């Protein structure tokens, strides 16, 4: 593996002045439903509205002055786009983002607000080809939104914060897209709390990591269809997959309805606004897709809250 807990700890110092130390909240109502002690890591309150700046700032900091001067290109449905634009602005690097035309309007506007240029592909599956074209035309450095050592190490700082607040955490439940967050969390947990389990949650319509685990290597998705655009990766990351194989107990598939039940629960019972990707972990616990052991300390990572208000209203009337 190319990422160690020492990398995660170094990342913590690098990103400290650029991120928010998000709270770990208790949820008695969730705990009563699942027969365990439940905690919510509120990354929806993070800068840019998701966990992504942790990795983006760390990865941007590892680039050479020449790489920054040539500009950065990335691909994202929104949360990584905002975070990399935010990190680019912090170091004075121009950022171009390839986004699918279906990207939520709020994420598109926020990404532009951080100073990035946006180019659109018809869908998630067309992003990589568009990035390649931009690289060739502009000479930009491709900063991968999840299959990158700096990204993984930065995301692992989320778990370090959890373990500072709850050293006896037993189970981490994490939404999975390409694998950036869960691989960083798994590296930190394996080193700092080796008895704890990490379980990933993927949408049935965007199961890139589950497919990769079953096949033994990343498998490109022919179609991605899920309400959770933050979990809609077109392929699992190579680095991420290796870490997940070693340190993640399981990756479980859930329906969009399960994910939305997590969103509704967080709003109604925890007073947290979460996008579907941010509600996936809680939804999996509520549905029984993930079953904690009696009395365990369970941490659900609420990974983001970037959701159009009109869509949020639809989730509650569906």
Indicate which CATH number applies to the domain containing 181.
3.40.50.1100
Residue 318: which pLDDT band, with cuts at 50, 70 and 90?
A: low
Same-domain status, 272 and 254: yes
Claim to verify: residue 71 and residue 124 sit in the same structural domain: yes
Do you know the residue count of the chain? 318
Residue whose token pair is 């170094």: 10
Q: Token match 């399960």: residue?
A: 258
Q: Which of 142, 177, 206 is the last residue of a domain?
A: 142
Residue 163, domain extent: 5-50+148-317
User: pLDDT tens, 183-216?
Assistant: 999 999 999 999 999 999 999 999 999 999 999 9
Which stretches within the chain are classed as H helix? 5-15, 28-34, 53-61, 65-69, 79-91, 105-113, 127-138, 149-165, 180-192, 208-215, 238-247, 256-269, 276-287, 309-317
The Cα 308–Cα 293 span in angstroms is: 36
Q: Yes or no: say if 157 and 187 are a contact pair by the CB < 8 Å rule.
A: no
Dihedral (CA of 214, 217, 78, 190) sign = positive
Q: For the segment 143-165, what is each residue's pLDDT rounded down to a tens digit?
A: 999 999 999 999 999 999 999 99
The pLDDT, as a whole number, for residue 286 is 98
Residues 170 and 225 in one domain: yes
Domain boundary among 89, 114, 142: 142
Report how far apart, in Å, the C-alpha atoms of 237 and of each of 43, 208, 246 are: 22, 9, 14
């Amino acid at each position: 593996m190319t990422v160690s807990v020492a990398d995660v700890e170094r990342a913590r110092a690098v990103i400290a002045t650029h991120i928010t130390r998000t709270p770990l909240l208790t949820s008695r109502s969730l705990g009563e439903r699942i027969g365990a002690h439940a905690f919510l890591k509120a990354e929806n309150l993070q800068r840019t509205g998701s966990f992504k700046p942790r990795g983006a700032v760390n990865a941007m900091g590892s680039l050479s002055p020449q790489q920054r001067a040539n500009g950065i290109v990335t691909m994202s449905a929104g949360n990584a786009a905002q975070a990399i634009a935010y990190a680019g602005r912090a170091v004075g690097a121009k950022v171009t983002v390839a986004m699918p035309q279906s990207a939520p309007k709020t994420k598109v506007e926020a990404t532009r607000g951080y100073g990035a240029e946006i180019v659109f592909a018809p869908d998630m599956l067309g992003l990589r080809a568009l990035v390649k074209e931009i690289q060739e035309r502009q000479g930009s450095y491709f900063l991968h939104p999840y299959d990158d050592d700096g990204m993984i190490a930065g995301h692992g700082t989320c778990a370090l914060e959890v373990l500072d607040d709850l050293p006896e955490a037993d189970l981490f439940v994490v939404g999975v897209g390409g694998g950036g967050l869960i691989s960083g969390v798994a590296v930190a947990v394996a080193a700092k709390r080796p008895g704890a389990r990490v379980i990933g949650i993927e949408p049935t319509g965007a199961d890139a990591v589950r497919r990769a685990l079953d096949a033994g290597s990343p498998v490109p998705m022919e179609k991605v269809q899920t309400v959770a655009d933050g979990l809609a990766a077109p392929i699992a990351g190579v680095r991420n997959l290796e870490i997940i194989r070693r340190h993640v107990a399981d990756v479980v598939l859930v329906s969009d309805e399960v994910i939305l039940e997590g969103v509704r629960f967080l709003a109604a019972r925890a007073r947290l606004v979460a996008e579907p990707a941010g509600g996936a972990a809680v939804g999996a616990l509520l549905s029984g897709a993930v079953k904690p052991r009696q009395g365990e300390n369970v941490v659900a990572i609420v990974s983001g809250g970037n959701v159009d208000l009109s869509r949020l209203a639809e989730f509650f009337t569906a």
